[in-house]
Every structure is written in structure tokens, then in C-alpha cells.
Amino acid sequence: MAKKIRFTKQERQKAFLPITQKSDRIMVYVLLLYFVFGLVLATFYDTWTIAIGVGGLSLLAYFITKTVLPEHNLYQYVMSGVFAVFSAQFIYQMHGMFEMHFFFFVGSTLLITYRNWKLILPLLVITVIHHAWFAWLQYSGLKEIYFTQLEYMDLQAFIFHALLAAVIMGICAYWSYDLGNTTLSDAAKNIILEKQVDQVKNNIAFAESITTGDLQKELQVADETDELSKSLVKMRDSLRIAHMREEEEKFLSVGLTKVGDIIRQHNSDPTVLAEEFIKTLVKYTGMNQGGIFMHEGDGDNERLTLLACYAYDRKKFLNKQLNIGEGMVGQCFYERAPIYMTQVPKEYVKITSGLGEATPQCIFLVPVMTSDDIVGVIELASFSQLKTYQQQFIIRAAENIASAIISSRTTHQIKMLLADAEQRAEEMRSQEEEMRQNMEELQATQEEMSRKGFDTENRMRAISESGIASIEFNLRGQIIDANEAFLKLMGYTLDEIRGKHHRIFVDEQTAASFEYEKFWADLANGIAHPGQYKRVNKQGKPVFIQGSYCILNDQQGKPAKVLKLATDVTSLVRDGIKWKNFQSAETLN
């Protein structure tokens, strides 16, 4: 058991403290008895100087060490050496009496009480040194040195003597070691028991905290075998998760109720609805600022307009518009998915307060949409990051407000349509009589226009059948239509020239000239151009024509088209007829 626990120095001292204290009390009496016994022995051979000097110094060494270093066990090792010195003193005082040698064994036996086998070592070392040194001195003939009463001890007897002493001291050391382990084992059991008792107390206090609703209290599990503590921690964790889930559900239900109240109170006005919604959303979620962008327009005019915003209990009236796909707001609208950023660029947005400006820790963008339609984007900024249940609430709230905004817009549009319908109905009633009066005039006009149109068609048919080439242009010079005579004259089909500019019929020098540009400017201003012209057909060959560029006006009398009527005079030019006159006309035009 002792090996399973690593004792600290303090724990070891605590385990051995009762034993050490008891042994110290015994050893004080033993050392005093040793000193008195030395005085008694002094009477036999008049060794008072040795008894008082050596014995007194030994006692002083012990008591001084213990007094100077009371918390250290050095005095115990000093005491072990003192036992050896007293034993050597007694042998000397009794002139080598064999019985005095047993005091070495008495000392080693007394040291067992400390249950520290290392205390035997000083006694053993001094004993070996004493026996070897004094035996050598005595048998070397030195007088006044006493080791044994024998005249001579051979080496074999000395070895047996030393080995026997070593065995006895080894046995004493073993029992010190064994008793020490027993002490540590008992201490380990006591420590385990104390820890178990403390853990039981902690478990009781922990369970009481849980019963009072304190789910944040921590419990330190003693070890892997403490199943009760682990079960209590699991129970606490389960209750904490259940409590957190309950709080999150409560947060969601209360928040959606607030949103529902706002929708019911302000459903008739989309702007007020958006303002109250974003204000409540920012405050309830603990955000620092927010805005709601609404979708407006269609086609190329689609845009997101900041309809309402809220920040630090102050409304900032901003006029901000974004294109679809522009910035994070436009991207959120385009992707129809929430965007949560925790790495916010410094220049993206600033949260302003009385203390200055700072970059938020997170940005959350949510599309305001139902399952079918998307009407805008909510953008929120905060100094603290959003939890998952807060994000879920904002998404749910955005869905609710999307339905409300769609409904509000629909209601508003219906009201506007009804008002417009009533106004139009009134106007239609007032205009019905006027329309009735104009019907006869309109019918007469239509009959006249039909007659004129028929005449115009006949004229155009007659022109085509006469062989005169005709072609129509818009005021920019782009070809609208051409008859077969013109197409045959220039070598093109109608599909090849429709939509192309008149310059395909002139050479590059003429097309790039100022006179050519002014020619079409005059036509656009309603100035006709009759005359003789040189043109280029599809094969690049010159074609000479005599004709006129006429102006066709619209119903308001403004120029609308250019009609060119021409005849082919190429053969005449080739024969030299009118060449001089044609050349002059071409230079002019």
C-alpha cells in the first residue's frame, strides 16, 4: 500500500512524528543512563576523565544538534554515532571486557524504535573503524589501548567477530526498514481514509449545492475509483445541459413572442415595423448595433436600401444603398444564407460610443426571407461573439419579420391599388362620355387612314414594279428595309444588310469624310438630298445612281426615317453621258 502512494516530505514527517517523539523521549533517558553507567564504570579502573570527558562531549553533541536543527533528523544520526562512542568508551573503561562489546548491539536495537534503517549506518561504520583500529593498536603492543582481554586474536576470530556484529546490525536494520514500511502503510491507509472522508464531505456539499440550483459548482474527483464523485459530476453535467437547454428554449420563445407583439402592433406600416423590430432585436440579443436592408426595384434597378438601424439607444439616419452582391450584405442576399464573421476587418464597420470607436468582435448577417421569397438582409455587430442559440433565434425572427413585411407590403399595395382603382374608375366615368363622343371621329379617322394606307401601299407597289430601287434607313443611317430592285442593283440579300450602316455602300475615304458625316446630320434634321451619287456594290465595284434621299415624318411631323429612291445610271456613265455633271455632283455630295 505504501508503494502506491508517493509521500511528500511533510507527509512522511507527519506519519513518523508520533514514533519519533516517543523515541526521542526514550533516547534522552537512555543517553543519560549511558552517561551514568560510564561514571559507574570509572570506579573500577579510575577512568573518570574518559567517563566525564568522552561521555559529556557525546551528550553535548547530541543535544546541541537537536537544539540547533529541531526540524531535521541529523540529531538521530549523531545519536547513532554517540551509541558507538559510548560502546567504545565502555570497552576501554573495562579494559576490553567482552561483555562491553554487546553495547554496540544494544545501540542498534534501540535505534530500531525510529524505524529508519539508515540510522544503523553511523553505528556500523564507527564500530568497524573502532574494532579494526583498536585491535591493530592493541596487538601492535601499544599500551593503554584496550580492545579485548585476550592476549592475541587471530584474523579468523576477528573476521567471525566482525561478521557476527554485521549480521546482528543487519537484522536490526531490516527490522527498522520493515517497521518503517509498516508505518508508511498505516499512514497511507490513514491518508486514503482521510481523503475518502474529505471526498464524502465534498460530495455531500456538492449534492447540497445541486439541490439548491447551483449548477456551476465544481467537484474535484479524487481518483478513477471514486465512482460516487464521477456519478455526481455526470448528474451535475446532465442537469446543467438540461438547464441550458431550458434557458435557450425560454430565450427563443420569449424573443419570438416579443417579435410577434411588434408585428401585431405595427403591421400596417413597413417602415415603423422595421424600426421597432431592429431596435428590439439588438437589445434582446445583447448586440451593439444593427440595421435592416430591404430589397427594392427589379431588373437592372435592383438594390438593397437601409430601411432602419439601431445603435447604442440612438437612431442614426443614414441613406445607404447597395447593389445585389455588393459587400457582405449584398452577398448574403445573393446567397440566401447567413454569414457569421469573427475576424472583422478594421475598416468594415465601427461601433461608436461616448468613449470613441472600436471594431466589433463579430458580424452576423441574416437574409430576411421565407421559404419562397427574400425581402432583405439583417446586419448585426457586437463586441461579444454570438452563441448558437442566439443565432438560431435571429434566424427565426428574420423569418417571422419576412412574412410580416411581405404581408405588410401586400396590404399596403392592395390599399394603394384600391385607392388608385377608385380614382381611375372615377376618371373613367368622367371620360366615358368624352370617349363615346370621340368614337365617331375615331372611326372616321380610321377609315381615312385606311384609305390613305391603301393608297400608300399601291404607290410603293407601283414604285417596286417600276424598277426604281428603294431602301429605308433610320436617322442614324442603319438599314431597315430595301426592295428587290435595290438588292439586285447592289448584289446583296436583305438579311445581309438589315441593321448595317449606309457606309457599306461607299468607299472608305468617303465614309471617313466630314461631308459624309454632315450628309447624315442633314438627313436627321429633316433636310432631303436629291442628286447623283457614286456607290459601291457587294463586289466592290462602283455603281452610279440618280435619286433622292427623302424624309419620312411621324405623326407629330418630326423626321422618323429616310427613304432613298434611285435609278441605275451606271451604263450612261460608262458611255460618257453626263459624266461631267455626275462628277460635279459626287464632289458636292
The label of the residue with cell 461601433 reads 351
Q: CA-CA distances (angstroms) from residue 382 to 190, 311, 465, 527? A: 55, 10, 82, 69
Task: Give the mean model confidence (pLDDT) for residues 351-355.
Answer: 49
Task: Give the mean model confidence (pLDDT) for residues 429-444.
Answer: 73
Q: CA-CA distances (angstroms) from residue 26 to 30, 70, 494? A: 6, 17, 135
| 531 & 407 share domain | no
Q: Tell me: the pLDDT tens digits for 121-146? A: 998 888 888 877 877 776 776 667 77
Whole-number CA gyration radius for the chain = 60
| Domains of the chain: total | 3
Q: Tell me: the pLDDT tens digits for 504-555? A: 999 989 889 999 999 999 999 989 989 888 899 999 899 999 989 999 888 8
Residue 46 lies in a domain: yes
CATH code at 390?
3.30.450.40
| The pLDDT of residue 585 is above 60 | no
pLDDT of residue 559: 92
| 170 & 272 share domain | no
Select from 117, 152, 174 the last residue of a domain: 174
Task: Give the mean model confidence (pLDDT) for residues 105-119.
Answer: 91
pLDDT of residue 128: 82
| The pLDDT of residue 443 is above 50 | yes
| 275 & 148 share domain | no
Q: Tell me: the pLDDT tens digits for 201-243? A: 777 877 777 777 776 777 766 666 667 777 777 787 787 778 7
pLDDT of residue 133: 82
Q: Give the mean pLDDT of the chain.
A: 81
| The pLDDT of residue 586 is above 60 | no
Q: Tell me: the pLDDT tens digits for 147-170? A: 666 666 667 777 777 788 788 888
Residue 459 lies in a domain: no
3 state DSSP class of 528: coil
Q: Any idea what DSSP says for residue 5?
A: S
Q: Which domain holds residue 541?
A: 467-588
Residue 200 lies in a domain: no
**Which carries the bigger pLDDT value, residue 476 or residue 413?**
476
Q: Tell me: the pLDDT tens digits for 3-38? A: 456 777 787 778 888 999 999 999 999 999 999 999
Q: How far apart are CA 296 and CA 138, in angstroms?
A: 123
| 374 & 292 share domain | yes
CATH code at 502?
3.30.450.20
Specify the amino acid at residue 105. Answer: F
| 404 & 477 share domain | no
**Which carries the bigger pLDDT value, residue 409 or residue 95?**
95
pLDDT of residue 495: 92
452: confidence class by pLDDT, cuts 50, 70, 90: low
Contact, 535 vs 489, CB < 8 A? no
Q: How far is CA 401 from the centre of its chain?
A: 28
349: confidence class by pLDDT, cuts 50, 70, 90: low
**Which carries the bigger pLDDT value, residue 93 or residue 467?**
93
Selection from 77, 100, 111 nearest residue 149 by Cα: 100
Task: Give the mean model confidence (pLDDT) for residues 245-264.
Answer: 86
Question: Which residues fall within 8 angstroms of residue 237, CB to CB, at 6 or more apart?
Answer: none
Q: Tell me: the pLDDT tens digits for 66-85? A: 999 988 889 999 999 999 99
356: confidence class by pLDDT, cuts 50, 70, 90: very low
| 349 & 494 share domain | no
Question: Beta-carbon neighbour count of residue 203 at 10 Å?
Answer: 19
Task: Give the mean model confidence (pLDDT) for residues 358-387.
Answer: 84
Rounded to the nearest 5°, which phi and psi values hold at 221? -75, 130
Select from 399, 416, 433 the last residue of a domain: 416
| 22 & 164 share domain | yes
Q: Tell me: the pLDDT tens digits for 478-489? A: 999 999 989 999
Q: In the chain, pLDDT over 90 holds for what percent of residues? A: 23
pLDDT of residue 316: 42
Residue 35 lies in a domain: yes
| The pLDDT of residue 317 is above 50 | no
| 254 & 149 share domain | no
pLDDT of residue 225: 66
* End-to-end Cα, the chain, rounded Å: 123
Provide the grid cell at 550: 427623302
What is the biggest distance separating any 2 CA atoms in the chain, rounded to whole angstroms?
181
3 state DSSP class of 344: coil
Residue 187 lies in a domain: no
| 399 & 260 share domain | yes
**Which carries the bigger pLDDT value, residue 339 or residue 449?**
339
pLDDT of residue 406: 77
Residue 116 lies in a domain: yes
Q: How far apart are CA 165 and CA 120, in angstroms?
A: 12
pLDDT of residue 347: 62
Provide the grid cell at 473: 434607313
| The pLDDT of residue 409 is above 90 | no
Question: Beta-carbon neighbour count of residue 574 at 10 Å?
Answer: 11
| 505 & 389 share domain | no
**Which carries the bigger pLDDT value, residue 37 or residue 347?**
37
Rounded to the nearest 5°, which phi and psi values hold at 468? -75, 130
Select from 158, 174, 190 the last residue of a domain: 174
| 16 & 124 share domain | yes
Residue 453 lies in a domain: no
| 18 & 163 share domain | yes
Residue 126 lies in a domain: yes
- Highest-scoring range by mean pLDDT, 238-247, 451-460, 488-497: 488-497
Q: How far apart are CA 81 and CA 62, in angstroms?
A: 9
Q: In the chain, pLDDT over 70 holds for what percent of residues? A: 85
